[in-house]
Amino acid sequence: MRIAELLAHGERNVEVTAKGWVRTKRGNKNVAFIALNDGSTIHNIQVVAETAAFDETLLKNITTGACLKVTGLLVDSPASGQPVEIQARTIEIYGLADPESYPLQKKGHTLEFLREIAHLRPRTNTFGAVFRIRHAMAYAIHKYFNDRGFYYWNSPLITASDAEGAGAMFRVTTLAPGETDFNEDFFGRPTNLTVSGQLEGELAAMALGQIYTFGPTFRAENSNTPRHLAEFWMVEPEMAFYEIEDNMNLAEDFIKYLVNYALEHCADDLAFLEKMYDAELTERLRFVTANDFVRLTYTEGVKILEEARDTKGVKFEFPVFWGADLAAEHERYLVEQHFRRPVIMTDYPKEIKAFYMKQNEDGRTVRGMDVLFPKIGEIIGGSEREADYDKLVARMDEMGVPTETMQWYLDTRRFGSAPHSGFGLGFERLVLFVTGMTNIRDVIPFPRTPKNAEF
């Protein structure tokens, strides 16, 4: 039985076995108290060992980080804060952890230090909590879509197309360094790691109706910020017959479901993170689930920002004007200062959005849709897609997107086109929001950033 189960509903006064890693050992010459953790919960189980009953060397070797198998009676614990403890009958040491060299000896390591030992940090309370929540969010994503008749769709990672021109790409090759003949390359042409699975997702939506991707995505951008990774996970649902209003409704319902799921399934881990890092964490999560998101157009948003600047003396670093690509400071002003709740902004100038977004009749804006969150900024970006073949081709030509190599994509508009929509959720940004962590490198097991591909 794992420790989470022993703590939650282990039968009293029967012999149990617990296996896990030592978090702390304390005690006196008569008794040792060993806090054991197996990763199934943030909580440790206390093992009580009468020193007289055990070999001295064995007890000495029980140090922080050592791995043990313990058998003994599960009894009500007299100590506060723990329902049960184990009166040890036998203790076997699976693996030692030399106190001189084990890096997780003392408490209170900085997150920066733990990043350098990313291979060991899941053994800490913080990263145990973060990665359990990350799991819960991934599962909730699959459950949400499965329960609603969406199909999981695996867009290719290696691609010969540039998707949406969303960012700089990594080249994938089997050519030896210095070789340049792509005819000799594995795929007989230059190939890259995908920046988005959307275009292939659209193909699927126009056949299966409702699909979602959820997989790794790549950007070869030289951004050393707490918000960017070169390799990150993205969720991209795509739905036939959804117009932008349906798309907004889905995005809001989806993200509220996920946050609710965390509140319901990760209470212990959230309580720990709240105590250690972010006193307003669960309050912020509850607020998101309890309130309607504000919906407004880009044009309305710019007006609010201009007024704030002109009449309230709000200072922005970057200029605000109709046509500007809003910066994080602008988004956060709207979300955190003006509306004080999440915002769904729509109908952006076509110049700052991708070629595939549905063109509005005003000729100036497209049916893009961004969901803006407190602390995080943009957590979801999406749009209704341009379903009209001629309009789409015209826009691609205007923007210099090659139509010859995109015939497969255009075929969705050539044969049985339909209104359809979709969006992308940056999975790590979601996990950042739900855990209250502030650096994206702390919510993915092994972050990939410029000059950093350890482990």
Q: Exposed, middle or buried by CB within 10 Å (0-12, 13-18, 19+), for 357?
A: buried
DSSP designation for 312: S
Residue that the structure tokens 């350098």 belong to = 116
Chain centroid offset of residue 66 CA: 31
Binding residues with its own copies: total (CB under 8 A): 106
| 93 within 8 A of 61, measured Cβ to Cβ | yes
Give residues 166-185 in contact with its own copies (rule: CB under 8 A). Answer: 168, 170-175, 177-180, 182
Interface characters, 238-277, with its own copies (x: CB under 8 A)? --xx------------------------------------
C-alpha distance across the termini of the chain, in Å: 31
| 195 vs 387 by CB, closer to its own copies | 387
Q: Which of 123, 228, 367, 385 forms a contact with its own copies (CB under 8 A)?
A: 123
Residue 225 makes contact with its own copies by CB under 8 A: no
Distance CA 370, CA 295 (A): 10
Q: What angle do CA 18, 20, 25 make, to 5 degrees?
A: 100
Distance CA 436, CA 113 (A): 19
Give residues 31-50 in contact with its own copies (rule: CB under 8 A). Answer: 38-40
Q: Which of 33, 54, 152, 287 forms a contact with its own copies (CB under 8 A)?
A: 152
Q: Which of 253, 264, 306, 454 forms a contact with its own copies (CB under 8 A)?
A: 454
Residue 9 makes contact with its own copies by CB under 8 A: no
Residue 445 makes contact with its own copies by CB under 8 A: yes
Chain centroid offset of residue 240 CA: 26
Distance CA 409, CA 163 (A): 10
Neighbours of 328 (CB within 10 A): 14
Q: Which of 9, 15, 90, 94 forms a contact with its own copies (CB under 8 A)?
A: 94
| 78 vs 177 by CB, closer to its own copies | 177
Interface characters, 354-393, with its own copies (x: CB under 8 A)? ---------------------------------x------
Give residues 387-426 in contact with its own copies (rule: CB under 8 A). Answer: 387, 408-409, 411-419
| 154 vs 403 by CB, closer to its own copies | 154
